[in-house]
Amino acid sequence: KRHLISAADLSRDDALLILDTADELAKISDRSIKKLPTLRGRTVVNLFFEDSTRTRISFEAAAKRLSADVINFSAKGSSVSKGESLKDTALTLEAMGADAVVIRHSASGAPHRLAGWVRGSVVNAGDGTHEHPTQALLDAFTMRRRLGPLDGRRVTIVGDVLHSRVARSNVLLLSTLGAEVTLVAPPTLLPVNVGSWPCEVSYDLDAMLPKSDVVMMLRVQRERMNAAFFPTEREYSRRYGLDRDRVARMHDDAIVMHPGPMNRGMEIAAEVADSPRSTIVEQVANGVTTRMAVLYLLLGGADLGGEIRQ
Ligand code: CP
């Protein structure tokens, strides 16, 4: 495959290959080998039209650890502010020799359009409310490391599903990997077509907690919603927030996830986010390894010199 636009692009074998490659890359970095020569001479462009901390930095770290040249582009401070289009921006970067373009954009579908304009690989780093496939891959990688194979595992995803590209990509990828996903959200924060998604829906978080191997909390994306349709913070936390009392209903080995950035005290209590059950910091570290695997496989990196097979 040349691009990674949607989690739906990945067959079970594709997804397992990425996760297994990330496992091997993690073993290499556990041996204190910080940099591999495999993408030397290749150029990765990070094209960010929307703010990001984790995704932007981890793609940069991933490309650098594979010895690629990295160009970071953020729309703020660029000629986009003078009205330059996505297409002209993309063609400019193409002329600079991009082998891969990692794009984040507020418009759902922007990575798909970009893939029609450039010769290199396109990786979706989050497009509007559509998808964030590498977040789903790093989440699956984190679950697999903590819990083993995902077949039959029960994952509950809670909160603002309507605006969450993370939720959509996770539902698609986790169902491909054999997990059973349930969404828990206020009815006003569910997409109208959720009935066609490969998952269940519940409105009762407390009933789902004892049955879950993973509880994944989503950020309430106030910037994407009309304030008139939003419950008060206190009301939201009471119904859908994960606090200490709710965590006590989970089984001993179950984990708590959040893609970040968090609204501490709203969808997740600070003491839960910082507890041993929480994988939030691991998710960030695993993001680098998983994105290394994606870039390595998409760009057909040179053999890792036996490292990856040891
Ligand atoms: N999880 C995630 O995509 O975070 P950023 O917006 O900081 O990249």
Domain boundaries defined on the chain:
7-131+284-309, 133-279
Q: List, by residue number, the catalytic residues.
A: 54-55, 82, 104, 132
Ligand 1 centroid to 186 CA: how many Å? 23
82 is in an annotated binding site: yes
From the list 240, 184, 182, 239, the residue with the least C-alpha distance to 213 is 182
171, with CB counted inside 10 A (0-12, 13-18, 19+), is buried
The total number of residues shown for the chain amounts to 310
- 7-131+284-309: which CATH number, 2.120.10.30, 3.40.50.1370, 3.10.129.10, 3.40.50.970? 3.40.50.1370
CATH topology identical between 7-131+284-309 and 133-279? yes
Cα–ligand 1 centroid distance for 56 (angstroms): 8
Alpha helices (H) along the chain = 12-30, 54-65, 86-95, 110-115, 133-147, 165-176, 205-208, 233-240, 244-247, 270-273, 280-298
Q: Is 126 in the pocket of ligand 1 (CB under 6 A)?
A: yes
The answer to whether 151 and 129 are in contact (CB under 8 A) is no
Neighbours of 37 (CB within 10 A): 12
pLDDT in tens, the chain (310 residues): 799 999 999 999 999 999 999 999 999 887 777 899 999 999 999 999 999 999 999 999 999 999 999 999 888 878 887 888 999 988 888 888 899 999 999 999 999 999 999 999 999 999 999 999 999 999 999 999 999 999 999 999 999 999 999 999 999 999 999 999 999 999 989 999 999 999 999 999 999 999 999 999 999 988 777 666 666 788 889 999 999 999 999 999 999 999 999 999 999 999 999 999 999 999 999 999 999 999 999 998 655 544 443 3
52 CB within 6 A, ligand 1: yes
ipTM associated with this complex? 0.98
Which atom from ligand 1 is nearest to the alpha carbon of 259?
A: 1
Distance in Å, CA 53 to ligand 1 centroid: 6
CATH architecture of 133-279: 3-Layer(aba) Sandwich (3.40)
Q: 55 labelled as ligand-binding?
A: yes
Q: Was 300 annotated as part of a binding site? A: no
